[in-house]
Structure 1
Amino acid sequence: MNEPLAERLRPKTLNDYLSQSHLVGKQGSLTPQIKQGLIPSMIFWGPPGTGKTTLANIIATESGRPFYTLSAINSGVKDIRDVIDKAKQSGGLFTTKNPILFIDEIHRFSKSQQDSLLQAVEKGWITLIGATTENPSFEVIPALLSRCQVYILNSFDKNDLETLLKRAVEQDVYLSKKNITLKETNVLLKLSGGDARKLLNIFELIINSEDTDEIIITDESVLKKIQNNTVRYDKTGEQHYDIISAFIKSIRGSDPNAAVYWLARMIEGGEDVKFIARRMLILASEDIGNANPTALVIANNAFQAVAAIGYPESRIILSQCATYLACSPKSNASYMAISNAQQLVKETGDLSVPLDIRNAPTKLMKELGYGEHYKYAHSYENNFANQEFMPDELKGTKLYEPGNNAREKAYLDFLKQRWKDKYNY
């Protein structure tokens, strides 16, 4: 029984595939494409154990396509070219059944390795399916990303995980021979962190540690068997997400002590310095914003510095940035403003730009009144002219509400002086 339980239970068909109903359910965005066999190049983005590799295999099987797989950990440009050559020989450009090339952990590929895929994807010699746990916007080169659809896979929910455990007990060739009772599963589910593979690995470890075929699974029995399950930092597993979450929330909560503790956990675990710095860069704008605009400058400088220096010295820069951000006043006003604005755009569509503030580069446009009544702010007292800048349908809509901090209170006073009647500041 050398094959792990997670591998033995790996679904072979779409009907057996659990979770990700938004992609492959009855109304899933990928379902009709798979049924029609019209598979685009795509990137699967999601946490570990969410079925990225399995889904790629199923897509290849159900669409009847040749399937090649590479891992970015141990493959280079030569390996990519070899697969592309095989793909071209097996049909490629002259058939809709062009081969699928699945690349696991595609975010680990260098720019040159990703570049080597471009022509094959562009020409249709292969259909690329990449899997990544990292944000493809940062880790996949723009040229390749523009040729692929990005699909997000979510962690398994409680119902899916429980279904998976029942499937293991009832259907696995080895476990089904034992008398296993799933009396309590809360601890198992929590330890899995929504990672199906980890759930099955833990479950198998517990079952194999019993010297009887009569096994009752309870929360207490699981805790006794898995004492130190989450002590080690796993930068490819759910702790990667849990600890960065704790780190960010500590900074957001203005606790520099907790922030440097979680930072140390990541550093000791060998976490990518750019990943840590990038998250602080986002936080500087999302959670501090105009309460202290210098925070964004500090975070950006920290990101550039650690990218150039690396470990071990980067730990000092990361610590300086983390403690600075934790001790800064907080405001999510800018974050809320753009979120509200985007929601408004979705609800109202493409409203017309008022004629007064349209660009008028041609004579015809000027004759049509483009920009005719625009008031140049610097020509007025205090560099301000009371003019409408919103579409007619949205006059008076307030999207930015300054936060309750010293700097944004000054912004509020500024806005009250100019827009009190219009925006009710």
Structure 2
Amino acid sequence: MNEPLAERIRPKKLEDYISQQHLVGKNGVLTSLITKGIIPSLILWGPPGIGKTTLANIIATESKRPFYTLSAISSGVKEVREIIEKAKKGGGLFTAKNPILFIDEIHRFSKSQQDSLLGAVEKGWITLIGATTENPSFEVIPALLSRCQVYILNAFDKEDLISLLKRAIEKDEILSRKKIQLKETAALLQVSGGDARKLLNIFELLVSSEDNIVITNDLVLNKIQKNTSHYDKTGEQHYDIVSAFIKSIRGSDPNAAVYWLARMIEGGEDVKFIARRMLILASEDIGNANPTALILANTTFQSVAVIGNPESRIILSQCAIYLANSPKSNASYVAIGAAQKLVKETGDLSVPLALRNAPTKLMKDLDYGKEYKYSHNYSNNFKEQEFLPKEISGTKLYEPGNNQRENQFRETLKNWWKNKYEY
């Protein structure tokens, strides 16, 4: 039997699908839709190897619909149109069991390729299911995204992955004949990086040559040879290397930042993905310590989208080095996190009357906005007054970072608010 283990034990029914209970559990949103026979066009977004393709197959099977599949890597507009023509000839309508077209790695489709899907999705000739490892808000055109529901698949946890291994040992026709003991699993889970497909491929390699085997960490590390310089845009290396890149910039090491940048460029990473990560970092890790960083990162993102390879590498390098050399502050990031936590804890507190909008006479009669002091009417454009709900008055959410610019912020806030916020 040449079929790989991951394919042999691929779940065929919803009840056998491991994890993603928020989608396919008893009260899951997809479970409800399948039960009702209503399958909208949708995008499945999540890390590699968590069962996006499997879930698409199950949806088609459970809803008894024809199933077509394309890979965005090897398919183009021609293949899309051929399938749409087949669907039209089959009489696909909103009220009928119209075919499902599954497109793996839909983020790799160009704008013209995605445009070719619009009419068929809109008219109900096909139900589109797209799978992506990238944020669909950035990678799927707005017109198509607006016609699809987006569902997020979470990474497998340790228990999920061990359940997969146990299922393989118990249920697979070949492995069930062997004596396999899972004594240690830490190294196996680490090497697979949470990718179920990779986990099962490695596991099959380990047990294929012996009938009696005890899985230990040493066995895994000795038998599995990893090429650590390999960069897989859809696998563990993708996430590890971009993590190293971001942490190098955050840690103010331009040398390491450029090295990891080169690893991504040489591996064929999407330049917009790299620029987008630096755009986030410019606000999260530098923020008001150097607001120009956000402007430069945004300009970098716009520039590489226009220029493309190979010249984009120069712009990316300039931005990475600038960000690495910038003073750092995560004060804005911490502040919004603290504010959101406070909102969840305190609920919908009333807006003070002085701050309320008063577009009608009734609202004015109720003193909406009556006590508000217009800051520009006062010295230095400032007048002390209450801007928070009374229940949380004096709560400090923003703590300026210890850098030249934000130290200036701190002094200004002290002068304005005296001891109210204890800056």
Greater displacement, 216-225 / 262-271: 216-225
Equivalences for residues 203-282 of structure 1 within 5 A = 203-208=203-208, 210=209, 212-282=210-280
- Report the alpha carbon displacement of residue 189 of structure 1 after superposing the two structures with TM: 0.9
Whole-angstrom distance in 1 between the partners of 2:380 and 2:5: 72
Which residue in 1 is equivalent to 2:71? 71
Which residue in 2 is equivalent to 1:105? 105
- Report the alpha carbon displacement of residue 46 of structure 1 after superposing the two structures with TM: 0.8
Q: Amino acid of the residue matched to residue 373 of structure 2? A: K
Whole-angstrom distance in 1 between the partners of 2:224 and 2:124: 48
Greater displacement, 279-288 / 363-372: 363-372
Rate the CA distance shift 1:346–1:67 in 2: closer, same or farther, 3 A: farther
Which residue in 2 is equivalent to 1:151? 151
User: Does the alignment pair 1:382 with 2:383?
Assistant: no
Q: Amino acid of the residue matched to residue 396 of structure 1? A: G
User: Does the alignment pair 1:183 with 2:160?
Assistant: no
Which residue in 2 is equivalent to 1:335? 333
Deviations 1:365-417 (A, max 9, x none): 66665545443322210011223333455433332221122211111111111
Equivalences for residues 307-322 of structure 1 within 5 A = 307-322=305-320
Which residue in 1 is equivalent to 2:138? 138
Deviations 1:158-183 (A, max 9, x none): 12212212222222222223333333
Alignment gaps of 5+ in structure 1: none
Greater displacement, 156-165 / 63-72: 63-72
Which residue in 1 is equivalent to 2:415? 417
Rate the CA distance shift 1:47–1:80 in 2: closer, same or farther, 3 A: same
Deviations 1:241-270 (A, max 9, x none): 111111111221222232222222212212
Which residue in 2 is equivalent to 1:22? 22
Whole-angstrom distance in 2 between the partners of 1:404 and 1:96: 63
Whole-angstrom distance in 2 between the partners of 1:357 and 1:125: 52
Q: Amino acid of the residue matched to residue 218 of structure 2? A: E
Rate the CA distance shift 1:410–1:56 in 2: closer, same or farther, 3 A: same
The 8 Å contact of residues 157 and 194 in structure 1, kept in 2 or not, is answered as yes
Greater displacement, 388-397 / 12-21: 388-397
* SS across alignment from 1:300: helix
Which residue in 1 is equivalent to 2:199? 199
Rate the CA distance shift 1:351–1:145 in 2: closer, same or farther, 3 A: farther
Whole-angstrom distance in 1 between the partners of 2:2 and 2:325: 52
Q: Amino acid of the residue matched to residue 310 of structure 2? A: P
Whole-angstrom distance in 2 between the partners of 1:263 and 1:287: 18
Whole-angstrom distance in 2 between the partners of 1:142 and 1:421: 48
Greater displacement, 141-150 / 77-86: 77-86
Rate the CA distance shift 1:62–1:254 in 2: closer, same or farther, 3 A: same
Q: Amino acid of the residue matched to residue 231 of structure 2? A: Y
- Report the alpha carbon displacement of residue 362 of structure 1 after superposing the two structures with TM: 6.4
- Report the alpha carbon displacement of residue 328 of structure 1 after superposing the two structures with TM: 1.9
Rate the CA distance shift 1:59–1:420 in 2: closer, same or farther, 3 A: farther
How many residue pairs end up in the alignment? 423
Rate the CA distance shift 1:146–1:390 in 2: closer, same or farther, 3 A: farther
Q: Amino acid of the residue matched to residue 54 of structure 2? A: T
Deviations 1:69-125 (A, max 9, x none): 222223333433343344345454352643322211111122232233334334444
The 8 Å contact of residues 188 and 219 in structure 1, kept in 2 or not, is answered as yes
Superposition TM-score, scaled by structure 1 size: 0.90
Rate the CA distance shift 1:91–1:301 in 2: closer, same or farther, 3 A: same
Alignment gaps of 5+ in structure 2: none
Quote the sequence identity (%): 78
Superposition TM-score, scaled by structure 2 size: 0.90
Whole-angstrom distance in 2 between the partners of 1:122 and 1:31: 23
Rate the CA distance shift 1:94–1:254 in 2: closer, same or farther, 3 A: closer
Equivalences for residues 362-401 of structure 1 within 5 A = 371-401=369-399
- Report the alpha carbon displacement of residue 356 of structure 1 after superposing the two structures with TM: 3.8
